[in-house]
Structure 1
Amino acid sequence: MDPWQAGLARELIMRLPAGADSAAAGSVLQPEQLDGWSDLDLHVDLPRSAEPVDLLAGLEIWSVTEEASADRQVLRAVITDGRRVDLVITGGGRVRLPDRAPDNHIRALVAQAAAKLGRGDRLIGLHLTLELVRHCLVQAMLLRDRDQGTTIHRSGSARDALADEIAGLDLDDLGVTPRPNVVERTVDLYARWRSELEPDYRPDWSGLRAVIDRGLAGR
């Protein structure tokens, strides 16, 4: 049976307009290296057109980030079922970005952190997790500002207890098991504090759980 990367690559290639070219890259070319944490790397030479191409249409995108220059677009997407896709687009054309959640940047960050830790890359995994910790602390500081009606603080407050919660995350344990792991525990703090700050905020970590489940299942 083909790995999911091969099937998804075929699906995306079939959606390309006439004149476009593509090539898979990375571990999909070396099946013996594929594991549950592997993503799909696809390079696309896409001619310039009046409208962006809906290459990701129909996929349930949980998060997507973009890096773009005049002649290059890089998209990193996480699908709700835990599959991850990196697209490198050259040739002047553009792929249309799907709608993104208000916390899209956090979703992308936690998926990448979990994948790095899952692969045993504790150096980058911890770096990304600490970035998530910083986002948590920003929410905590915004809560303090709201409580006290000012951004100027001479001393601490009752909200310093939130720093104690961060200190209790056990950042020495950088494995993805047992669950909830350090990324899941940290993002739960982010969700709780942001929800207190923004009552309409609705966190959804289904994509993160799917990335970890898929990685641990080895598929």
Structure 2
Amino acid sequence: MEKDRLFNGIATKFADNIYGTTKGKLRHLILCDVLTPYVSKPLSILEVGGGTGIMAAHLAQQGHTVMLTDASQDVLTLATENLAGFSNVTIKQQYLQDIKDIKNYDLVVCHAVLEWLDKPFEAIDFLFENLNQGSRLSLSFFNKDAALMANAIYGNFEYIERGLKVKNQVKLNPHQALPAKQVVDYCTDKGFRILGKTGVRCFHDYMKVNEHQTSKFEQLLRTERQYNQVEPFLWLGKYFHLMLEKP
């Protein structure tokens, strides 16, 4: 836990960088899409690393009871402001490994968390071991394969040769990107049942004309939705999503 990346001191910058851009807007919309079939009835939901509360607000609006946790107090200050109008959301500062009541929840949401952890696969182990049978895990993470593809397109071959590592890590760049298939195989071997696989931003980050990310956003969104569960495109999502169930 001591080496996990938190966002104390840069919470506002983090929020602006993610949700103030088309990449954040698109990611949120796609994740809402993939959750929709699994949240048709009122659920008790735990969101791990819930950040500023964007997804918690979406789920709370649908009538679900949400416990939002995050290890960063600065991030949770923003979440408290964003979720002030929801009586069905509870906010708690907590590391994943310190959560004792995971068995109480029908669904655990863990989006864009693994890539900031020092030991991401131990987090998957912890979640599996503490979930009830029949409970589900919505898991998304930064896709190392897609990061390699994007850097190859831009000619960043020295960066690729260093294993996508830099001497001075940028604070808002994930430092533990994971290959999508490796995580899929790990979750399967662990015992999870995979209910769905989705690429998140399969095209957005590869567009040659950056202005089109904004000017053609609706067309881009339709294309993402059409192909993000279709091979080979789903494997190129900058983020990868798994809907998992503990048998």
- Normalising by structure 1, we get a TM-score of 0.30
- Who wins on radius of gyration, i.e. which is larger? 1
